[in-house]
Chain A
Amino acid sequence: MIQTINFLKPNRDNIKNYSIIGTFLVLVSLIDVISNAFLKINLTSFLPGSLTTLFPLIIGLIGLNMMRIDYSGNKKLDLLNKNINTNNFNALLTLLILFSIIKALPQSLSWMIFDATISGDSKDACTGTGACWTYIKVWFRRFMYGMYPNEFHWRINTAFILVIALGFVGYFMKENLKKYLALYYVIIYPVIAYLVIYYLISGGSFGLQWVETGAWGGLSLTFIVSFFCLIFCFPLGMIFALGRRSNLPVIKYISICYIEFWRGVPLITVLFMSSVMFPMFLPEDFFMDKLVRVIIAITLFEAAYCAEVIRGGLQSLPRGQYDAAKSLGMGYWKMHIFVILPQALKLVIPGIANTFLALVKDTPLIFVVGLAELAGMLALAKTNPKWLGFAMEGYIFASIVFWIICYAMSKYSYNLEAKYKTER
């Protein structure tokens, strides 16, 4: 009896037979599902009713069970068993997920690619059952540049290229100027970037026609808002993080109040306040552009989150670092600039990346105050009477664009982490 069970139980001795039979059974189950999904052929129609549907699952489970050999000595098999085939329940989940993907693949592929339309330049071109990428094609400039006049798009492009190029200056800076790097990025760079964007995109001087910010929009507006909020909220957050740990009660409590206030209100109300309420308190002849107000509002809001993330990093440093810096005669600022912040900021890269990603993904909220960045332009486009009914394509497009931006940011943060990693 025991021998029979041992014989049925896969182990290293009968590994050859079992792994081959197991692989074969799993393959059979996959072939069944694939032929069902892609070719619409039911290979197991000879089986009665519900058994036909369950057939691949049962066969696959038996197959995976036979392949589950501990310490088989085969690297690939061990990897497979360790990750997706640890027990029967996990094997079941693996199969279900695999089958669902296979089942969903033909429909999504035919919708997105095979039956989709991209030719033509009006709604009439889209007669097929698939996606209407014509819509994206026709609206592409709007999605990128908003209502900004077509003939001036080069101004936005030039401004962005300039701002990006200026951002790389740090890489080429001479060794003896390296100590001014932080100063450059925190103060000089934002000012230059602001001037570039103001004179090129807004225009109004140097023979460039004035374009009001209400016409800005699309992805370029997403970039502008995110860019300024990111570079301003970080130093501001750093100041409040240090302030919250200060020994001076006034500074400490101002920082706490600030952080707790901004963390306690929803971003959407902050945006409404900035665009509706705030101008009421300003003197009549004082004008501040809506876009500037929105950027300030988001910056102040996100600075509170940055502050708490950075404070986490400051708190994780051992007290000995403070002691050592103090014992060498460093004052508060020298200690923080040379010893504490370089270490703390390195620790909070993942948290800061998190906050920044959230910020970028929060920018569509500025639609509520009438600024249409990428998602906002979509909302406008889908209600255009000539182009009703293509919301799906629009949102898929927006998701892909946002995903690319955010993935690039998170990749960059991993790179930074690796770059500044030192053994502790």
Chain B
Amino acid sequence: MSDPIIKIQNMNKWFGDFQVLKNINLEVEANKKIVVCGPSGSGKSTLIRCINRLEEHQEGDIIVDGNELSEKTKDIEKIRAEVGMVFQQFNLFPHLSILDNCTLAPIWVKKMPKKEAQELALDQLKKVQIDDQANKFPGQLSGGQQQRCAIARALCMQPKIMLFDEPTSALDPEMIKEVLDAMVSLAKGGMTMIVVTHEMGFAKEVADEVIFMDEGMIIEKADTKEFFANPKSDRTKLFLSQIL
């Protein structure tokens, strides 16, 4: 068994007086796919935002790829460059074309030559099947296309880990499928993924483990088959009965 690529120990986080994450312990091995589910307000998004330190945690340790995240972390940008993230609201840069959205970070953060970055970007855009839209602006694309572009943009940094924060929640039902397809093929390519989602079909298909969270705590963590076939806690059962 290899060393976990993400290791979270006894992590606590507060927003002011309100404790959003309570005593989180989580280990993710390389190439594993984890799906995090749970009702809204349960801290799922906050948890994965802590993994690339878009949110700061107050207690406990988070170790990503051997680097501990804390106030003392000097090169947080270097760690973030290795952790790709896809957001619910896509967050593409509206003033840049699709291609420029994808090449911006490789060129300026990884110091990649422009030509190489463009080839890489077109390659990634092709994998999510929007290479024909490369010169358009985000505002001209549909939600599903924008989200696939966001996935390509994150992949252009060639990250070791991908975080997905409810990537399909802001999409029409028709567009959800195209985004999920892109994520499934990414998963089959062996990427380490942590996905916050309500798409249980996706979880069943690709996840190695499913985590159920409620009120800032990890209620249940189990292998995917076990999780759906034989949930242990009553809260999980209730959640699954409502969502399935």
Which residues of A are interface residues toward B (Cβ below 8 A)?
A: 318, 320-321, 323-331, 334, 338-339, 342-343, 346, 420, 422-424
Contacts and interface: CB of A to CB of B under 8 A. Distances in A.
A323 B109 contact: no
A339 B93 contact: yes
Interface stretch (B32-40, B75-83, B222-230, B232-240): B75-83
A422 B91 contact: no
B83 A343 contact: no
A320 B94 contact: no
Nearest to A334: B108
Contacts of A323: 49, 54, 85, 87, 91
A85 B52 CA distance: 62
Given A334-B109, A422-B137, A424-B139, A328 B104 contact: yes
Contacts of A330: 77, 105, 108-109
Interface in B78-132: 78, 80-85, 87, 89, 91-95, 104-105, 108-110
Nearest to B83: A327
B137 A423 contact: yes
Given A320-B87, A328-B153, A423-B137, 5 more contacts: A321-B93, A323-B54, A324-B150, A327-B87, A420-B95
Given A323-B87, A326-B54, A422-B139, A343 B108 contact: no
A312 B87 CA distance: 25
B117 to A, nearest CB: 13
Contacts of A324: 85, 87, 91-93, 150
B94 A327 contact: no
A336 to B, nearest CB: 12
Interface size class of B (residues with CB under 8 A): 20 to 34
B199 to A, nearest CB: 21
A328 B87 contact: no
A78 to B, nearest CB: 34
A327 B77 contact: no
Nearest to A346: B95
Nearest to B106: A328
A323 to B, nearest CB: 5
A324 B137 CA distance: 17
A424 B77 CA distance: 27
B9 interface: no
Contact of A423 (B78, B93, B139, B153): B139
A326 B49 CA distance: 11
Contact of A343 (B95, B105, B157): B95
A325 B235 CA distance: 37
